[in-house]
A and B are shown apart, each in its own frame.
Chain A
């Protein structure tokens, strides 16, 4: 079975799904990611699905579950790069991906996570304005 690699970039875990995942691979990714969040103490997860030409209800559910799990582990999940055709199909399918944050691309996803994280830092690092102002 193939595994999806998880990269750590600073405070963010980046998962770029490049293959047509079997259901088993998807479940494995879910488990791997939970472990890596705890191991690394990262506060953000970006799942890049630019390469996915379809998202069916199974993958949709996996994305929702990952978002929920990471929330419990104090990490923000952003799904980025969904193709227009995939989005149109998901709407038709009736899948709303509740609770998942989305962004157009990895860059915007990182901004989103930085902003969310800045909210928390704002209080702690009140004496360090640079940290909060630059997002």
Chain B
């Protein structure tokens, strides 16, 4: 759907000759659609950037948005959509900024007249459509990465590993545990064991409403991995429903220590370490 050399030449002439008027009119149309949420000056600068990109690209001859020669134009478009996505504009508000060029072109073509007017307008507006779609797509991409970043931040926030006592760390798990979060918790906990040189970890699941097979597996794997590293895990706060699920699912907790509450778990660990200081280190094997 590329513009031919003659067509792009005429487009360059049309837009280039009256650049002041084009950008002013374009800015006007966009301003009304954005209802003043972006300053006139900023908008004008964006429109000028786009205008310049289109003119330089069309002066080079054939316009094909996917071609190498249109790299500058593509960059200008993604720049615009990235900015809008981050500022919280909707997809419509963003793409309208591009489609507004159609109205400007319609006016210009009509004024210029000539035998090719209709033909040119159709070709130009196809290009604008393409640009609009491109903008829309990069808008969506930016939004997606924003969402992914936020999800990650949320994960970070929701999985604190706290030091409970000398040599004892705890992870109080709150909320639904999905596979991704369980994995983050697991890595975080194991790293904390290394960083604090703590041989004991308590995983408290009082705040976890439900446990499915996958999550239970993740917890089990964490315990086994911790043992491989030379640390012991105690699981506390297993609620009656969860205990029932664990048994119903046939998940083997094996010889993993489980305690009713975080306090019980801490007492258990302190007794182990207390024996350690009074008499000797317990033998730990896998």
Contacts and interface: CB of A to CB of B under 8 A. Distances in A.
Does A associate with B in a complex?
yes
Nearest to A116: B283
A56 to B, nearest CB: 14
A82 B224 CA distance: 13
B229 A104 contact: yes
Given A99-B285, A100-B286, A135-B280, A92 B229 contact: no
Contacts of A61: none
A62 B186 CA distance: 27
Contact of A101 (B186, B280, B286): B286
A90 interface: yes
Contacts of A100: 285-286
Contact of A108 (B197, B228, B282, B286): B197
Contacts, number: 85
A115 B280 contact: yes
A111 B231 CA distance: 14
Contacts of A132: 280
B225 A108 contact: no
Contacts of A109: 230
Given A80-B230, A82-B228, A88-B221, A101 B281 contact: no
* Interface size of A as a range: 20 to 34
Contacts of A88: 186-187, 190, 221, 225
A117 B280 CA distance: 11
A30 interface: no
A80 B284 CA distance: 13
Given A88-B186, A88-B187, A104-B197, A97 B284 contact: no
Given A87-B190, A87-B226, A111 B286 contact: no
Interface string A44-83: 0000000000000000000000000000000000111011
A25 interface: no
Contacts of A85: 187
Interface residues of B, number: 25
Contacts of A108: 197, 199, 230
A98 B197 CA distance: 23
B133 interface: no
Interface string B245-286: 000000000000000000000000000000000001111111
B98 interface: no
B283 to A, nearest CB: 6
A104 B194 contact: yes
A79 B198 CA distance: 16
A133 B190 CA distance: 31
6 contacts: A84-B229, A88-B190, A96-B224, A101-B283, A103-B230, A118-B280
Given A85-B187, A87-B225, A100-B285, 10 more contacts: A82-B230, A98-B286, A101-B283, A103-B230, A104-B194, A104-B199, A108-B197, A112-B283, A115-B283, A119-B280
Interface of B: 186-187, 190-191, 193-194, 197-199, 221, 224-231, 280-286
